[in-house]
Amino acid sequence: MSVPEVVREIITRNRSIYDCIKMDLINYTALAVKIQPDVEKLLGGPANLNTIVVAIKRYADSFEEKEPVKEDLILHNARLSVTDGIMDVRIPKESFRIADSSALFEQFAKIDPDYEFFRLADSFRFLTEDLADVRKLFESLPNIQTSSKLTRITIGIPTGHNRSDVGSFVADILHANGIEWEDAYFSRDKMIIMLNTKDASRTYDILRSEISR
């Protein structure tokens, strides 16, 4: 990943910083100093402070350059699905290399063919049903981290809709209703939100009402 990509990922995952960037309420140099260790960790090497500052400024400028969008149409015709009892499995890159990845995927698909897989800067993530066989499959890998009692809400993004607009809109509307997701993932045609199960029902109702507008 490049410095701008890493900076974008760090800011997007930190709601407080993201809000301050969007409202132009943060000093770019001070933020660069704060996140430099995280940037270098994800890059796996040193990162120039000025390069990080420039990346932050360009990301901030992207909010100003974006054309206004009609918020009531953002989720129009989107598809929504909900799955309870989900486990989020994080495997560090170093641990994943140890495994025979081909055999792992083959065994995993037999247990839960409806899993989601994402490759991030520092890890690989599996979103799967919280099953005893799944836990047994992963227990041989060192340093894995798991989060359970989660609900997966999948938003199918209609053709022609900008996924950045969808992501920003969903984050804003849930934040305004006091709901913060555990994590979120994007593919070309969908957005996946991981939530604490206690927030899932209200989140579904909020999103469904926006889709029905």
Per-residue model confidence as pLDDT tens digits over 157-206: 877 777 777 887 888 888 888 888 888 888 778 899 999 999 999 999 99
Q: Which residues share a beta bridge with 117?
A: 126
Q: 51-98 pLDDT, tens per residue?
A: 999 999 998 888 765 544 444 577 878 899 999 999 998 888 877 765
pLDDT of residue 18: 86
Edge-to-edge strand order for the sheet containing 145-156? 116-119, 123-129, 79-92, 145-156, 190-196, 183-186
Read off the DSSP letter of residue 75. T
Phi/psi at 27 (5° precision):
-85, 120
C-alpha span between 161 and 8 (Å, rounded): 21
CA–CA distances in Å: residue 203 to residues 18, 140, 165, 194: 21, 35, 18, 11
pLDDT of residue 180: 86
Could you tell me the pTM of the whole model? Answer: 0.63
pLDDT of residue 100: 60
CA dihedral of 94, 148, 205, 161, whole degrees rounded to 10: 10
Q: 199-208 pLDDT, tens per residue?
A: 999 999 999 9
pLDDT of residue 99: 53
Residue 104 near residue 98, CB atoms below 8 Å: no
Strands (E) located in 42-177: 79-92, 116-119, 123-129, 145-156
Q: 105-145 pLDDT, tens per residue?
A: 788 788 888 888 888 778 888 898 888 888 888 877 778 88
